[in-house]
Chains A and B, each alone.
Chain A
């Protein structure tokens, strides 16, 4: 039971570098989300997707891009990393509309120097 898998789990970047975080889910879920978690601020939604080929902005989308080319994968990209993007990133998925449970990955810790 893999559930939601995030790669990489740790990454250190220099300011201005780019990278992509990969989220993969094997539960055939329609909806996928990217959150960032910062001390004292809880989880904030970056981008989300309600199905293959669709994406939408969340609360804090600036500096990030996403793609959902395949239903099971949701990629989060940083084109030019900034120290303010140092955070723990969580991917989550759920079956569809309605108040169903969110399933989370284990997180990816990103440090931007």
Chain B
């Protein structure tokens, strides 16, 4: 079946630290991959996406590369800010459906 597994949280980092949130997937066919972000009290917003193998999605300093050989889509940012504190969801799209990971909570402290 189709599923997404992402790194357990919560994650706490100091400002300007390097961030990696791991995401691996299982899917039939050729899925598209996404990272969504949920700020406190809000709905999810698209952060970045990649639609085929070796594509790199990027936005607001965040990056993720679609790795078909390792079935992974890890989220990275070189220098996090307090404003990046949120819950991050990895997701895949295939067969007309979206499948979400359980979310990883990130807190960035000054």
**Chain A residues proximal to chain B, CB less than 8 Å:** 4, 33, 35, 40-43, 45, 50, 90, 92, 97, 99, 101-102, 104-107
Give the contact stretch, choosing among B12-20, B39-47, B68-76.
Answer: B39-47
**Chain B residues proximal to chain A, CB less than 8 Å:** 32, 36, 41-46, 49, 51, 89, 93, 96-98, 100-103
Contacting residues, chain A, for B45 (C-beta < 8 A):
104
Query: Which of B41, B46, B102, B103 contacts A102, CB < 8 Å?
Result: B46
Contacting residues, chain A, for B32 (C-beta < 8 A):
99
Query: Which of B41, B42, B43, B97 contacts A45, CB < 8 Å?
Result: B97
Q: Are B102 and A40 in contact (CB under 8 A)?
A: yes
In the bound assembly, the distance between CA atoms of A104 and B41 in angstroms comes to: 12
Q: Is the interface of B mostly helix, strand, loop or mixed?
A: strand
In the bound assembly, the distance between CA atoms of A35 and B101 in angstroms comes to: 13
- Measured CB to CB, the closest approach of chain A to B29, in angstroms, equals 12
- Measured CB to CB, the closest approach of chain A to B55, in angstroms, equals 11
Q: Are B49 and A102 in contact (CB under 8 A)?
A: no
Known: A42-B100, A106-B42. 14 other contacts (CB 8 A): A4-B43, A41-B102, A42-B89, A42-B101, A42-B103, A50-B96, A99-B32, A99-B49, A99-B93, A102-B44, A104-B43, A104-B45, A106-B43, A107-B43
In the bound assembly, the distance between CA atoms of A35 and B32 in angstroms comes to: 20
- Measured CB to CB, the closest approach of chain A to B2, in angstroms, equals 11
